[in-house]
Structure 1
Amino acid sequence: MGEWLYLVIGVAVLAVVVIVGLVTVGRRRPVPPVEAPDSQAPDTPGSDTLAPPRPVEAPEDPTHAVVEPLEPEAPTAVPTPVVEKPEGTASRLVRLRQRLSRSQGGLGRGLLAILSRDRLDDDAWEDIEDTLLTADIGVAPTQELVDGLRTRLRVEGDSVDVRAALREELVKLVDPTMDRTLKVSGADGAPGVVLVVGVNGAGKTTTVGKISRILVAQDRSVVLGAADTFRAAAVEQLATWGERVGVPVVRGPEGSDPASVAFEAVKQGVAEDVDTVLVDTAGRLQNKAGLMDELGKVKRVIEKQAPVTEVLLVLDATTGQNGMVQARVFSEVVDVTGIVLTKLDGSAKGGIVVAVQRELGVPVKLVGLGEGPDDLAPFDAGAFVDALLG
């Protein structure tokens, strides 16, 4: 019995020793390191080269996050208006003469066809008169031309050059002796002041813009006065013309006193020592006495700053004899010194040049033959007659 007891105790002790040994060995066994996954493919297939382990980034602490400042947006660039270089007078004249010749040659061809007949009887001369009257030359100038031609043909007989004779008589009617110079310079250092008048639709505002281009092409400094304050569109249109050639425009609120705007424009021209001030006025109907009186007021107010050197009446050449009525009324109010004939192409009748000069006793100084910005040129009597004759 005692032996069995010792045997059991010995077995128990041995079991305890074995268990303790196994636990101790398990604790000492090294744990193999965990390798980072391969972040890069090996250089060659089958290569054992491994990429270095990727560092573990610490999580961001939202309380200590670094906020990078936003870069300020660049200011939006405002496009600078492109200032145009207007066409010179010489090239403008050549182009307009060609266009005038194409549009006005019918009158000359009709006259030459009649004058080339074998026999010029009374019926032929009546046809010539009708042709001239249809071209809006007017009764008195027509009679002068017919009388002059009949006398030359009777005196010179068959030796006469019909075309040359007709040209000379037409040039006389147009009168090349008239002074067609634009008075755009003032005296004693004052700017020249050009007042542009006419009825609505004749093209006043456009004419003012085109004249400014002629002056800029001559290297003259210019100020524009937008005194047509009753039409916002006219003010904006003039501002656009000024912007295109770099010319300042003096304007006032819509419906303001036109005389005050004209006054301020001339005042600025005097202060800035510019060469010329061009003043656009509202289109006046010749049967509106109050509006016509207001136009006279504009001229009087301007002259408190500087004398008006030129008053240009803009007439639509297509209006024919109706334009004569307009011309007469305007000349009584503002003492017109020169005429601008617009739309002298297409259906226009060139004889209006002769008629309006006879009516007012003042010259046609500028003619417009199109919608282009440089389709305005000084009037030349000889070139105009040549265009009439084709």
Structure 2
Amino acid sequence: MGFFDKLKKGLDKTRENLTNKIEKLVIGYADIDEDFLEELEEALILADVGIQTTETLMEAVRKGIKKKEIKSPEDLKPFLQKEITAILEKGENTMHTAEAGPTVLLVIGVNGAGKTTTIGKLAAYYRGQGKNVLLAAADTFRAAAIDQLEAWGRRTGVPVIRHDEGSDPAAVAFDAVKAAVARKVDLLLIDTAGRLQTKSNLMQELEKINRVIGREIKGAPHETLLVLDATTGQNAISQAELFTKAAPITGVVLTKLDGTAKGGVVIGIKSQLAIPVKWIGVGESVEDLRPFVAQDFAKALFAG
């Protein structure tokens, strides 16, 4: 099964929750009236697109009706697919890399979102592209996180820079950057602690890590990726809002899309926060984390 087919299958629950409801609406109404638009609005909100994004889409629908782009309920699905694709394509989705020397990726997110697993899968992805990769276990708050990252290191054949549990995360990041330069690696992936309940500590920790790696490698970190669990729906947007206050997020990795009816959150994140979704996960296997392609996502979401 190719990745598009996996994505399509992974979005089954979201499609049932959103596009199939729209399909039923279309069948149930001969004309577009206020009742129809109310039910459409409700369907978008229930799919975790978010209230703000729903308002944006409803405004576009009303304009589309006025401009005769939508003449009947049947015109609605292709119109919404076009609008959602446009939202998802805004901005830039490509990964930034260093002009010379190692590219540094800082990975953040709350515990349980799949952060360490995502780092392991990213390591496997880039190793598959022939890149020389190094991992840094800077989530020193949990011994399990260090052990988990080392397990991924063994699985992917990627070395891991680690200190003991409770060590200074910035010291781990410093040693990892030094090692990355000395070993001439292409990519350094740094795991960090995800403790939103102590936001001020988290902010200070991330600022310190940023300072340390920025001093050693110009322009680093080149990406700060926030890992979010799609099954949490609107909570994922709340987490993203909090993390953007703690660190300059350059992109989002959305995991567990295959296990949720709340895949509409992808649209909400892009529309409300203007943060690009750069990677998506639609399964357990290593190959199920892939770069996000807006057109493919919208096409899979509206697939018949």
CA displacement at 1:129 relative to structure 2: 0.4
* Cα distance change on mapping 1:220 and 1:173 into 2, 3 Å: same
Query: Which residue type is aligned with residue 272 of structure 2?
Result: E
Q: Does the CA-based 8 Å contact 1:101-1:387 persist in structure 2?
A: yes
Q: Does the CA-based 8 Å contact 1:145-1:173 persist in structure 2?
A: no
Residue 44 (structure 2) aligns with: 132
Segments of 5+ residues of structure 1 without an aligned counterpart are 1-90
Q: Structure 1 CA distance, aligned partners of 2:73 and 2:266? A: 31
Deviations 1:143-166 (A, max 9, x none): 222232233345143597433222
The answer to which of 338-347 and 269-278 deviates more is 338-347
Residue 31 (structure 2) aligns with: 119
Secondary structure at 2:134 match in 1? strand
Q: Structure 1 CA distance, aligned partners of 2:46 and 2:35? A: 16
Q: Does the CA-based 8 Å contact 1:114-1:128 persist in structure 2?
A: yes
Does 2:86 match 1:151? no
1:1-390 correspondence to structure 2 within 5 Å: 93-106=3-16, 107-116=18-27, 117-154=29-66, 155-156=68-69, 157-158=71-72, 161-174=75-88, 176-183=89-96, 185-187=97-99, 189-306=100-217, 307-390=220-303
Secondary structure at 2:106 match in 1? strand
Q: Structure 2 CA distance, aligned partners of 1:103 and 1:212? A: 29
CA RMSD of aligned residues (A): 1.9
* Cα distance change on mapping 1:226 and 1:348 into 2, 3 Å: farther
Q: Structure 2 CA distance, aligned partners of 1:276 and 1:100? A: 29
Q: Structure 2 CA distance, aligned partners of 1:330 and 1:356? A: 13
Q: Structure 2 CA distance, aligned partners of 1:238 and 1:95? A: 29
Q: Does the CA-based 8 Å contact 1:296-1:334 persist in structure 2?
A: yes
CA displacement at 1:310 relative to structure 2: 0.2
* Cα distance change on mapping 1:101 and 1:245 into 2, 3 Å: same
Q: Structure 2 CA distance, aligned partners of 1:224 and 1:190? A: 16
Q: Structure 1 CA distance, aligned partners of 2:270 and 2:73? A: 33
CA displacement at 1:118 relative to structure 2: 0.6
CA displacement at 1:192 relative to structure 2: 0.4
Q: Structure 2 CA distance, aligned partners of 1:286 and 1:292? A: 11
Q: Does the CA-based 8 Å contact 1:266-1:305 persist in structure 2?
A: yes
CA displacement at 1:205 relative to structure 2: 0.4
Higher helix fraction (1 or 2)? 2
Q: Aligned pairs, how many?
A: 297
Q: Structure 1 CA distance, aligned partners of 2:31 and 2:198? A: 48
Question: How much identity, in percent, do the aligned residues show?
Answer: 44
* Cα distance change on mapping 1:103 and 1:259 into 2, 3 Å: same
Deviations 1:71-100 (A, max 9, x none): xxxxxxxxxxxxxxxxxxxx7633432323
Query: Which residue type is aligned with residue 314 of structure 1?
Result: V
Q: Structure 1 CA distance, aligned partners of 2:172 and 2:134? A: 12
* Cα distance change on mapping 1:291 and 1:151 into 2, 3 Å: closer
* Cα distance change on mapping 1:230 and 1:383 into 2, 3 Å: same
Q: Does the CA-based 8 Å contact 1:194-1:279 persist in structure 2?
A: yes
Residue 84 (structure 1) aligns with: none
Q: Does the CA-based 8 Å contact 2:11-2:258 persist in structure 1?
A: no
Query: Which residue type is aligned with residue 206 of structure 2?
Result: L
Segments of 5+ residues of structure 2 without an aligned counterpart are none
Q: Structure 1 CA distance, aligned partners of 2:33 and 2:90? A: 33
Q: TM-score, normalised by structure 1?
A: 0.72
Residue 28 (structure 1) aligns with: none
Query: Which residue type is aligned with residue 208 of structure 1?
Result: I
CA displacement at 1:247 relative to structure 2: 0.9
Deviations 1:308-357 (A, max 9, x none): 10000011111122222211121122100000011112224122112112
Q: TM-score, normalised by structure 2?
A: 0.91
